[in-house]
Amino acid sequence: MAKPFVLGGYTNDPNLPPIAQTGGARSFSLSELDSVVGPGGLSWRDFLSKIGCSWGIPIIEKAEQEQSTHYALETFIKRALIP
């Protein structure tokens, strides 16, 4: 639970960062996310936008404001459970 935010994945899209092209991933804590800079200066916000998950940005931003990893995880879980 110390680093519940995982950025990574796999795709053949050459326009996405190399970590997404190779299937690699890294885990981050809430406080580490803003210091993350991917290839080409890609921030976690840019990464989520490029992979079609921009809906998660406001959830993480609110969790950062409230300094509550629990809020982010609870909100993501609720969203996953709603059909």
pLDDT band at 60 (very low <50, low <70, confident <90, very high): very high
Q: Structural domain tally of the chain?
A: 1
pTM flag (> 0.85): no
Query: Residue 71's pLDDT is what?
Result: 94
Q: How does 36-71 read in b/e, with b if 16+ C-beta sit within 10 Å?
A: eebeeebebbbbbebbeeeebeebbeebbeeeebeb
pLDDT tens by residue, 43-55:
889 888 988 889 9
Query: Residue 9's pLDDT is what?
Result: 60
Instruction: State which of 11-15, 20-24, 70-74 shows the largest mean pLDDT.
Output: 70-74
Average pLDDT over residues 19-32: 75
18 is in which domain, residue-wise?
A: 5-81
